[in-house]
Amino acid sequence: MVKNRCSAIYILAGSLFLAMTMLHGLSASAQQVAPMDFVSVGRGAPLSPAIPGPTRTNPEQLEAYPPAEISGYPEQYWMVGPFRDGEIGVDGAGRGVIHASAINGEVPEGVEPLPIDLFTSEDFYADREYWSDPRYFRCNSSEAVQAQWSTGLIGNDPPRTAAWGYCDRDYSRESIISPYAFDTAQAHFEALLAETTERGGPTQHTYATVPGDWNGRYVWPRGQNWNAELFWNQVPTILSLMTEEYQTRFVQEAYHHGNTNAAQWPAMFCWPEGFMRRFHYHGVTNQPHQILVTPELVQILAGDADNFITNIHIGRSFDVTGAVPRLGADVPQWYGETIGFWDGEVLITWTSNIQGWKVHGGMEFSNKLQVVEIYTANRDDSGEVYGLNHEAVFYDPDALVEPIRIVRNLERQGGLNDGDPYQFIECVQSIFNVNGVATPVAPGEVIEYQVPDMFGRPWAENWRQFHEQDMEAPEEGEDIFSFE
């Protein structure tokens, strides 16, 4: 189904950022989509604004925060904060200079605080009228909310003394939503397939013609796009993308990061990471992506705290008789199932049958999430592949009010036999919920353990049981995987 939304003419304003220079001295270009020689119905629309960043990153700088100031890039788009730059701690947060508009309970000059906010509230559910105001979150990005305690920004009387970000900064909603006129991933994918067919495709590659020079190891730098850690956004802007129920879920997590200091990150407990962690910096970058290309299957292997295996089945079609399109059984898979086709050496994919889950500090997503992705080689003047441009559009009618888009560039580090081999990860749990708090437990220690319902938002159940006893939470939809 096609939306009545004008997207045929793409405004090229984002290109004005292509020659910017960061204050830390690295030459940079804007985070753009791959160049194209025609206007597509569903790929290649320019980003505006496009977050500046280096075209190739020194591997030693992959962990670094984006610069606090970016020369030539309007200040309104700089990181929302608050944050510490410099040396990175074990949690990935900075330990250096504080960048905040006010700290330790002070209020920024010219800002009138709300009568209650995330850091003073005793029931965030009752504060819904304030959620659309950045001041409710003290103008923090969601990443900054979850880092307040670990970086020491929470002040000397936490949580009421939490630091403020910059209220005049944000990455706009219009730059996040999809520029394409489709309501569903199926319509988007089929339109791209029809477009490719009209141009003589899709390409039927053999081992002699498939772009085997894509094979290799890839990374992507921190803060490269709006989504990676949500450095660039006010919380209400992210909330505006979501349905009412998922807004509540997002604020619930922010509250238990910033107020109760009771984080529930899946990797803490060796739980699955979930599909959307593929797009979160710390889920997939501490060891490179391993990409293997064949005519029938393209495999992307990645992971830091868990293994992400994306198998792209070339030329296959989904069974559309179940709850969502699928390849196998009518049962959601943690990373979904993916089909695709080639347009020359551009790879276009559609992923469906995804198990709903969450990304800490980011949005939760439902079993209806589906994604269209476009991979295009970045080549230098000699034709050598130095990276892959990756454009992805997300459709989730349960969680999102409109489709959204993420663009990133994977930077090639070498061939499949360069560097350390991929380390397949097996998580051994050493942190358990004890009285509602994630607690390291030593071998031999005996604790009372409640088995979580892995298909019933176990993080939220923990918060409700131990941290929301006196709150009035709205009722949620029925758990489709009830074992009672």
- Written as six digits, the tokens of 410 are 């994977």
Cα Rg of the chain (Å, integer): 22
Q: pLDDT digit of tens for each residue in the chain (484 aa)?
A: 333 333 333 333 333 333 333 333 333 456 688 889 999 999 999 999 999 887 788 877 777 888 899 999 999 999 999 998 866 665 566 677 899 999 999 999 999 999 999 999 999 999 999 999 999 999 999 999 999 999 899 999 999 999 999 999 999 999 999 999 999 999 999 999 999 999 999 999 999 999 999 999 999 888 889 998 899 999 999 999 999 999 999 999 999 999 999 999 999 999 999 999 999 988 888 889 999 999 999 999 999 889 999 999 999 999 999 999 999 999 999 999 999 999 999 999 999 999 999 998 899 999 999 999 999 999 999 999 999 999 999 999 999 999 999 999 999 999 999 989 999 999 999 999 999 999 999 999 999 999 999 999 999 999 999 999 999 888 765 443 333 3
Contacts (Cβ under 8 Å, ≥6 apart) of 392 = 279, 371, 372, 373, 374, 405, 406, 407
**Phi (first) and psi of residue 185, to 5 degrees:** -65, -40
- Alpha carbon 455 to its chain centroid, in Å, reads 21
Query: CA quadruple 123, 124, 128, 130: dihedral positive or negative?
Result: positive
Q: What is the pLDDT of residue 428?
A: 92
Task: Give 297's strand partners.
Answer: 313
Contact 351, 336 (CB under 8 A): yes
Q: How far apart are CA 209 and CA 307, in angstroms?
A: 30
Neighbours of 258 (CB within 10 A): 27
| Burial state string for 422-451 with b = 16 or more CB within 10 A and e = fewer than 16 | beeeebeeeebbeebbeeeeeeeeeeeeee
What is the residue extent of each domain of the chain? 185-222+267-414
Contact 388, 374 (CB under 8 A): no
Q: How far apart are CA 364 and CA 14, in angstroms?
A: 29
Q: How far apart are CA 249 and CA 229, in angstroms?
A: 17
Q: How far apart are CA 216 and CA 301, in angstroms?
A: 11
Residue of 290, 242, 265, 254 lying closest to 422 (CA atoms): 290
Q: How far apart are CA 310 and CA 388, in angstroms?
A: 16
Task: Give 350's strand partners.
Answer: 339, 372
- Alpha carbon 55 to its chain centroid, in Å, reads 20
Q: How far apart are CA 476 and CA 400, in angstroms?
A: 16
- Written as six digits, the tokens of 157 are 């009387």
Q: What is the pLDDT of residue 22?
A: 34
- Written as six digits, the tokens of 363 are 């949005």
Tokens 């949620």 sit on residue = 476
> Residue 191: how many CA atoms within 13 Å on its side-chain side?
16
Q: What is the pLDDT of residue 116?
A: 98
Q: How far apart are CA 355 and CA 1, in angstroms?
A: 24
**DSSP H helices in 221-275:** 235-239, 244-258
Q: How far apart are CA 57 and CA 73, in angstroms?
A: 19
Let me know the angle formed at the C-alpha of 105 by 104 and 108, rounded to the nearest 5 degrees: 100
Please tell me whether residue 427 adopts helix, strand or coil conformation.
coil
Q: What is the pLDDT of residue 60?
A: 76
